[in-house]
Structure 1
């Protein structure tokens, strides 16, 4: 069960993971990743978009959870895209150089189209 403020919508084989929280803790992100792992294993979902439009602060440990998830889904040729980052969240991806690992898009539609 996802925490309040988080939801996953599946459309045309892509899971859009919307996080509607200003701050995301490691535990909340891990619960989202666990749910995505379940979709990958049980429903054959391979592509995931994380919609971070409402997120003002993302703990670096949350990015660690995303990196672990990426390593798991790469084995099944899956992909992760990040969409709607605010400047400070985008900066976190840039400073950690993970903007070269995760595809980052201005909106969810562009991220979905990238698959």
Structure 2
């Protein structure tokens, strides 16, 4: 925990500094919701097919989902969401002619959530 998933349009493969974004989001997550740095995990999922509006031409999408153990305030979750969007503006630079649609959501993990680490 936290479990972070980032879905992004394939057209952004060369225009999205994913490692830089993850490191910055991890640091912000530690600060805002008091997470352990070693517990922050981010996975990126490249999405081949995305459509925005009627034609979908010229649009790319990035969505960040952050799952946290329960107990964070709504204000802290909203602050982390806004921070994720700010960081996307810094780390995603779409090619000319593309419009970026960025979104983020922070939610509580299900009480059944468990994790394990093996060496």
Same fold (TM over 0.5): no
Q: TM-score, normalised by structure 1?
A: 0.26
Q: TM-score, normalised by structure 2?
A: 0.26
Q: Which one has a bigger Cα radius of gyration?
A: 2
Structure with the larger RCO, 1 or 2 (CA within 8 Å, 6+ apart) = 2
Higher helix share: 1
